[in-house]
Amino acid sequence: MSKGRAYAIERIKHMIAAANTINGYTKRGRSAFDTDSTVRDAILYQLIVIGEASKGTTAADDSIARVVQPWNGRSGPRCVIESLINIGQQTTRLSG
């Protein structure tokens, strides 16, 4: 496995971990999100982690860009999350 591929897979693992952390926060319910700024900040931080890791993923191994759904120039948390879901579905392709 190339260094770039190994680095990209590590970034994907970071994105999955961040998504799992967000999932844990969302289990507290909408009211916790609405009333607790700490929960909002924690979720925002995890979205930033996902965004930064996603940038590093395709930069490290451009063949991954052919596996994941292209963003078509879009940006923002929704695009990151949509791509993360797609990455999670495609992870088995990357480890081969």
pLDDT on residue 85: 57
Domains of the chain: total: 1
Full pLDDT tens readout for the chain, 96 residues: 778 888 888 888 998 999 999 999 989 988 988 899 999 999 989 988 988 888 888 777 777 666 555 555 555 555 656 665 565 555 445 444
**For 16-52, b where at least 16 C-beta lie within 10 A, e where not — what string?**
bebbebbeebeeeeeeeeeeeeebeebbeebbebbbe
Phi, psi torsion values for 82, nearest 5 degrees: -60, -45
Domain with 31, as residue range(s), is 3-94
pLDDT on residue 67: 56
Residue 81 neighbours by CB under 8 Å, 6+ apart: 19, 47, 50
